[in-house]
Chains A and B, each alone.
Chain A
Amino acid sequence: LAKTTQPISMDSYEGQEVNITCSHNNIATNDYITWYQQFPSQGPRFIIQGYKTKVTNEVASLFIPADRKSSTLSLPRVSLSDTAVYYCLVGEGNFNKFYFGSGTKLNVKP
């Protein structure tokens, strides 16, 4: 399983942009980078997935440098409801090959 390294926790304030970085030095050529969000007492929820450069959807952006050894999830103008744990997954193929790790606990303050 391809493992990743993320900060254990981050603090932010409402209205700020939050960037969560994930390190994946051993990423393979065919691996994609996927981010999930988990609220307390709920199952994880898919946020975004990308392979290289930049991907954007209605809730987040994912920045991936040319060497793909890291990636950054960007949440624009966070609100209190964005307080959650964010997981970075790296790999390809069947879901059983993905390692969740402990994620990054984001705490958004008023």
Chain B
Amino acid sequence: NAGVTQTPKFQVLKTGQSMTLQCAQDMNHEYMSWYRQDPGMGLRLIHYSVGAGITDQGEVPNGYNVSRSTTEDFPLRLLSAAPSQTSVYFCASNRLILQGAGEAFFGQGTRLTVV
């Protein structure tokens, strides 16, 4: 199994440009989420989804949109890129469970630079 696949791995954008970060999982997980990680920091939740057609905001949602039309895919859209969005973006998927965080599977990340 491929697990969680993120594309692209690297991206440079100019301020004001828009783009979509792709995330796909092949484990039939209900739950998917997007995080950003700034240098030397922990992960911060941007948006998440508990199933197709259902999305919600996390800790830092401003400037980002998501949709979940299928179980497998959860793209993250940057509406108008800003230098403050320079970061590494991680997508994760896991089964919905009630006991603790459980085992989430993360992608390899997309390193985004906005100039």
Contact = CB atoms under 8 A, between A and B. Distances in A.
Interface in B19-41: 31, 33, 35, 40-41
Nearest to B32: A95
B106 A89 contact: no
Interface string A1-38: 00000000000000000000000000000011110100
Contact residues on B (Cβ < 8 Å of other chain), bracket: 20 to 34
Contacts of A96: 33, 45, 48, 56, 58
Nearest to A96: B48
B63 to A, nearest CB: 19
Interface of B: 4, 31, 33, 35, 40-45, 48, 50, 56, 58, 88, 90, 92, 94, 96-104, 106-109
A63 interface: no
Contacts of B35: 100
Interface of A: 31-34, 36, 41-46, 49, 51, 87, 89, 91-96, 98, 100-103
28 contacts: A32-B100, A34-B101, A41-B108, A42-B106, A43-B90, A43-B106, A43-B108, A44-B43, A44-B104, A45-B106, A46-B101, A49-B99, A49-B101, A49-B102, A49-B103, A51-B99, A89-B100, A89-B101, A92-B99, A93-B97, A94-B48, A95-B31, A95-B48, A95-B101, A96-B56, A101-B42, A102-B41, A103-B42
